């Protein structure tokens, strides 16, 4: 059995993690977003906002973590594994911020494809900043556009998740992949 890797992506504050939590509660295997942990680990090293002060180092750590998740998904022997963001997210954020990255970042994205990618649009009604999410809503829109552009560069057909309750959004994703 080959595990299908299903990415749920979108800009900050779009409900990705809430949907991942809902899918986990329904018994599905999900791999959580790692950027908060990378940020918190950097704070323990004395770097308040690693993405802002050392974006390449932050992105390298994210890429490594997401590569580990990619390979971990293969070991789980499940029909589907849901991932809160994928490797191309790293490039999209670097493009959004205007930072350069090594060619290896693109090579990694090309060599580790996902089976399906769902994208969540920014939704002003649910958007909130917090101690780790520093972007405002307009920046979230710009990040969304960078994500769309990056995933399309790698020939992904992005599937939009409609605005709705968390449970209905999770059910929508499940219905779509069950129909594939």
Encode pLDDT of 132-155 as tens digits.
556 788 888 999 999 999 999 999
- Mean pLDDT of all residues in 73-100: 93
CATH class of 4-179: alpha beta
In angstroms and rounded to an integer, the radius of gyration of the C-alpha atoms of the chain is 16
- Judged against a pLDDT cut of 90, whether residue 39 lies above it is answered with no
Mean pLDDT (the chain) is 90
Three-state SS string across the chain, please?
Answer: CCCEEEEEEECCCCCHHHHHHHHHHCCCEEECCCHHHHHHHHHHCCCCCHHHHCHHHHHHHHHHHHHHHHHHHHHCCCCEEEEECCHHHHHHHHHHHCCCCCHHHHHHHHHCCCCEEEEECCCCCCCCCCCCCCCCHHHHHHHHHHHHHHHHHCCCCEEECCCCCHHHHHHHHHHHHHHC
> Which pLDDT value is given to residue 124?
83
Better-scored residue on pLDDT, 176 or 12:
176
- Judged against a pLDDT cut of 80, whether residue 85 lies above it is answered with yes
Residues in the chain: 180
In this structure, the dihedral spanned by the alpha carbons of residues 107, 108, 113 and 114, taken in order and rounded to 10 degrees, is -140
Which of 44-53, 113-122, 171-180 has the lowest average pLDDT?
44-53
Encode pLDDT of 7-36 as tens digits.
999 988 888 989 999 999 999 999 998 887
- Mean pLDDT of all residues in 145-174: 97
Tokens of 115: 């089976």
Residue 136, phi-psi category: left (phi > 0), alpha (psi -120 to 50), beta (remainder): beta
Domain boundaries, given as residue ranges, for the chain: 4-179
Q: What percent of the chain has pLDDT over 90?
A: 64
Burial class (CB in 10 A: 0-12, 13-18, 19+), 72: middle
């Amino acid at each position: 059995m080959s595990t299908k890797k299903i990415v749920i992506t979108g800009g900050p504050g779009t409900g990705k993690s809430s949907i991942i939590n809902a899918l986990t509660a329904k018994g599905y295997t999900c791999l959580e977003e790692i950027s908060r942990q990378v940020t918190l680990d950097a704070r323990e090293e004395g770097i308040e906002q690693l993405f802002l002060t050392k974006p390449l180092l932050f992105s390298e750590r994210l890429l490594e973590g997401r590569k580990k998740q990619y390979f971990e998904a293969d070991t789980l022997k499940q029909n589907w594994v849901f991932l809160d963001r994928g490797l191309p997210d790293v490039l999209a954020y670097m493009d959004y911020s205007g930072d350069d990255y090594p060619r290896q970042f693109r090579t990694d994205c090309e060599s580790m494809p996902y089976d399906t990618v769902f994208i969540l649009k920014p939704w002003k009604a649910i958007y909130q900043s917090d101690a780790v999410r520093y972007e405002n809503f307009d920046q979230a829109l710009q990040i969304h556009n960078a994500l769309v552009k990056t995933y399309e560069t790698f020939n992904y057909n992005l599937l939009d998740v409609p605005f709705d309750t968390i449970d209905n959004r999770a059910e929508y994703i499940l219905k779509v992949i069950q129909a594939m």
